[in-house]
Structure 1
Amino acid sequence: MIPVLEIGGTHVTAALVDPRDGHVTARTRGPLDAHGGAEDILGTVRRCADGLPAPAGARWGVAVPGPFDYARGIALFAGVGKFEALYGVDVRTALLDGLRKRPGDVAFVNDAHAFLLGEWSTGAGRGHRRVVGITLGTGVGSAFLADGRIRESGPGVPPEGRLDLTELDGRPLEDSVSRRAILARYGDRDADVRDVAERARAGEGRARRVLDDAFTGLGTVLGPRLADFGASALVVGGSIAGSWDLVAPALRSGLAAGSGRGRWVPDDADPGAGPPPPGAPQSPEGAASPGPDRGARAAAGHTRVMKPADRPEDAALIGAACAASAEDRPRG
């Protein structure tokens, strides 16, 4: 079992994970103030990690959003509305020296990359050779994976693999698709995205239009990239994806408008694609081999649009364990 941390904009989670089958145990979780001081943030992370029965000398996997120097473990947050107090902080050393049971090493991985690695190895993306993952929350995270490896360049892949560096209608994508953008467009400072979603379900036209515009726009940006990348699956996670009944129709509409090359298939389950058994062959990233290629069984040019599998909150934890267990670890 590998000890892991997932550091998010509102919470931190620690767990023990078996990357071969995605089994997660001994979980601890707590709220995290991304706008707090550096010591407050690091103290919260350390306390959560110390609550885990991890052995001394273990290699930890840590999923964390960018901008971040994943090779050195140094935070580079600036102008992103979270963790700005950590700019320039050596988080790797803070964990190596600050945990009660000193780790042997710490492997950092981009949280969106970890999410997709987890979904590809044991979740919704299992069996797809080329798959894209998107996380929707305080911002837009993205990952492009081919044959078990995260890709940061090539056809369809945005600069550095980061969809947040692209534009929609001449403006940064996150000015239209993010928690802050949705709430600014909605115009209620006391609401959260969950409130907007509930009002949309209750029939409020303004709430529905705001959400439809955001996710249709996301689809128009994604559509051509998925086609160029040759993705057979798109997996959408993050806190906002919890409102899948509202996200999916608008997203699929935008995908269809954004690219005439491809058909966007509903996220019906494939009953033949269960998690691999313990001891399954390992991918280059240390994730379990996904087995038969589901993408090859789909018609050419079709992309399956899916929410995460049964345990969406576990995907990034599993991906962080894959990163920590591999000799050639993926970098964000």
Structure 2
Amino acid sequence: MSSAARSARAPVPVLDIGGTHVTAALVDPVTNSPLPFSVLRRPLRSDATADSILGTIALTALDLPAEHGACWGVAIPGPFDYDTGMGRFTGIEKFEALSGVDVGAGLRRRLADRAEHLRFLNDADAFAIGEYHAGAAAGHERVACLTLGTGVGSSFLRDGVPVHDGTEVPPGGHVHRLTLHGRPLEDFVSRRAIRALYGRLTGVAEDREPPDVHEIAALVKAGDPAATEAFRYAFETLGQALAPWIDRFEATAVVIGGSMAKSWNLIHPALSVKLVPAGGAVVHVLPARQPAEAPLIGAARWAQDTWSATL
């Protein structure tokens, strides 16, 4: 059997890098699922030095069993040059130390013979590709996937491939670049926006921190009208901003993941009422089926597909 054939059957090593943690795993290329007991997670400080950040990521990767393919899939948030592996994190208050740093070279050096190739992709694209191959986006030729957490991550897929250019998608395929009433969308729907609106509605003093989003969600269930309004406004606004792009892209589904998706019963009604107007085309608004594993599965598929294309 050739080395290429052996590599195609070997587990695919992946990294999912976030602002507070890094996850490493081995993904079975046949079943599209992480191998049991191979998923490792370690806290990561996005405000640390470049050496500390890269060291933590590499340490997590090196904890994986060594029997895996030579090409890694690496999901990482932007701004990032995914083709060259260079960080572009200036002015976003996370991973600032990696701005202008060759992350690919730094990881390959630390991983030595464990990483022959690295294939980087946006973390929202990784989530979307994972849901397409093993989750709620399966069977949809055109689908938009959102990750709702600190902000709004997004990916528009056509036949399982992210679309970043053209008039059918927002700039770069990123919903967070949209504006509404002359302001960035994340001024209306994000962790900080929901907290700020709840604070205003309840008259929380400016020198006091309003509750966090999960606490506001609990208040909705308890019948708090201000909490209910904060969620309704945020996600109706998201639906309003997103609706023209869903129509233009001709998406048949919108898949929702991220930490806020845990409050699905609060998000879904408000988002759907604006996203799917009465009499409009049917658009399925669906919760992610693989919320935790989708980025790992997507990173593995990206590594497989892009590596195979070079052979």
Q: TM-score range by the shorter chain?
A: 0.7 to 0.9
**Structure 2 match to 1:199:** 219
Detail structure 1 runs of 4+ shifted over 6 Å in the superposition.
Answer: none
Partner amino acid for 2:100? G
- Cα distance in 2, alignment partners of residues 195 and 101 from structure 1: 46
TM-score normalised by structure 1 residue count: 0.82
Secondary structure of residue in 1 paired with 2:84: coil
SS at match of 1:120: helix
- Distance in 2 separating the partners of 1:180 and 1:37: 26
Code of the residue aligned with 2:265 in structure 1: it is D
> What is the CA-CA distance between 1:9 and the residue it aligns to?
1.8
The residue aligned with 1:306 is: 286
Q: CA deviation at 1:192?
A: 2.2
Query: What residue is the counterpart of 2:241 in the other structure?
Result: 221
Question: 1:166-177 to 2 correspondence within 5 Å?
Answer: 166-177=178-189
Where does structure 2 lack aligned partners over 5 or more consecutive residues? 1-10, 200-207
Indicate how the Cα distance of structure 1 residues 3 and 255 shifts in structure 2: closer, same or farther if over 3 A, else same. same
Q: Aligned runs of 1:176-255 on 2, under 5 Å?
A: 176-187=188-199, 189=209, 191-255=211-275
Q: Does residue 111 of structure 1 match 2:131?
A: no
* Aligned CA distance change for structure 1 residues 151 and 57 (closer, same or farther; 3 Å): closer
Measured in 2, the distance between the counterparts of 1:81 and 1:46 equals 22
Q: Residues 195-244 of structure 1, C-alpha deviation per residue, up to 9 Å, x if partnerless?
A: 12112211122222111111111000111111111111110111111111
RMSD value, Cα: 2.0
> Residue by residue, what CA displacement relative to the aligned partner does 1:96-135 show, whole Å, maximum 9, x if unpaired?
0012653001000001111110101111011111111111
What residue number does 2:80 align with? 68
Q: Which has the higher helix share?
A: 2
Say if 1:56 and 1:156 are closer, same or farther in 2 by CA, change over 3 A: closer
Distance 1:329 1:224 in 2: 36
1:17 matched to which residue of 2? 27
CA distance, structure 2, for counterparts of residue 208 and residue 91 of structure 1:
42
Distance 1:233 1:100 in 2: 42
d(CA) in 2 for partners of 1:53 and 1:220? 46
TM-score, normalisation: structure 2: 0.87
Residues 10-49 of structure 1 mapped to structure 2, 5 A cutoff: 10-25=20-35, 26-49=38-61
Which residue of the other structure, out of 76, 87, 94, is the alignment partner of 1:82? 94
Would the aligned equivalents of 2:149 and 2:190 in 1 still touch at CA under 8 Å?
Answer: yes
Structure 1 CA distance for aligned equivalents of residues 153 and 55 of structure 2: 25
Report the 3-state secondary structure (helix = DSSP H, G, I; strand = E; otherwise coil) of the residue aligned with 1:327.
Answer: helix
1:96 aligns with 2:108: yes
Matched letter for residue 240 of structure 1: M
Larger Rg, first or second structure (1 or 2): 2
State the distance in 2 between where 1:140 and 1:20 align: 31
